[in-house]
Chains A and B, each alone.
Chain A
Amino acid sequence: MSDTPSNPMREAIQSAIAENHVILFMKGTPDAPACGFSARTVAVLQALEAPFAAVNVLGDPSIRQELSALSGWPTIPQLFVDGELVGGCDIVTEMYETGELQQLLGVAQNQANDAATPATPLTVAEPAPLSIDNLL
């Protein structure tokens, strides 16, 4: 491979993205988001009861640096599904409102019936957090 093997952080991020069906890189943790945009993204995922891994980019400045270098996306949060960047808070929220996110995540339509009506309040459920530190 042409990748320089001297970038363990980038490799850790790549494997985290590859190994988790749904993974959110955010500021803070699902229980204690440190930024409104991260909080809103977590709330959307939790409203859909979609299990997701979460990485706190504030844990180490190089996470954010390497993540944005990998994804080409400058801001946090960043949601990945099946190894693909879905987007940040705006896109995730928009896709939730249109029902596309429900489709992408394969959550049952009856759970998120009529996505247009935000019947499900964006509340906090039990997340499955994961720290990138655990992966290193």
Chain B
Amino acid sequence: MSVSPEELKTRIESAIPGTRAEVVGDGHHFEATVEGPAFAGLSRIAQHKLVYDVFGGELGERIHALSLKIRPTEAR
């Protein structure tokens, strides 16, 4: 059961307001670049957790691997 990069993109963008995501992947391993004001001022750990939390238990299972690049943008 593979997952589409578009699905990940849509879910990240709808779960974290103001966020834009670019996702590439082969159905199991994904790389996402995510930018938005939600990440501003957070530690790296907290930034990544924000995105991980969108997928919860699916990470490591249905979504085998999700590599993240986070770009905080100005709030407002």
Partners in one complex: yes
Q: Is there an interface contact between B65 and A91, defined as CB atoms closer than 8 Å?
A: no
Total contacts A to B, CB within 8 angstroms?
34
Q: Is there an interface contact between B45 and A91, defined as CB atoms closer than 8 Å?
A: yes
Q: Is there an interface contact between A90 and B68, defined as CB atoms closer than 8 Å?
A: yes
Q: Given the complex, which residues of A lie within 8 Å of B69, measured CB to CB?
A: 90, 94
Q: Is there an interface contact between A75 and B60, defined as CB atoms closer than 8 Å?
A: yes
Q: Given the complex, which residues of A lie within 8 Å of B45, measured CB to CB?
A: 73, 85-87, 91
Q: Does B59 lie at the interface of the complex (its beta carbon under 8 Å from any beta carbon of A)? A: yes
Q: Is there an interface contact between B52 and A90, defined as CB atoms closer than 8 Å?
A: no
Q: Does B67 lie at the interface of the complex (its beta carbon under 8 Å from any beta carbon of A)? A: yes
Q: Does A95 lie at the interface of the complex (its beta carbon under 8 Å from any beta carbon of B)? A: yes
A87–B69 Cα gap in the complex (Å)? 13
Given A89-B67, A90-B67, A90-B69, A74-B44 contact (CB < 8 Å)? no
Q: Is there an interface contact between B59 and A91, defined as CB atoms closer than 8 Å?
A: no
9 contacts between A and B (CB under 8 A): A37-B67, A73-B49, A74-B56, A74-B57, A75-B59, A86-B45, A87-B44, A88-B48, A90-B67
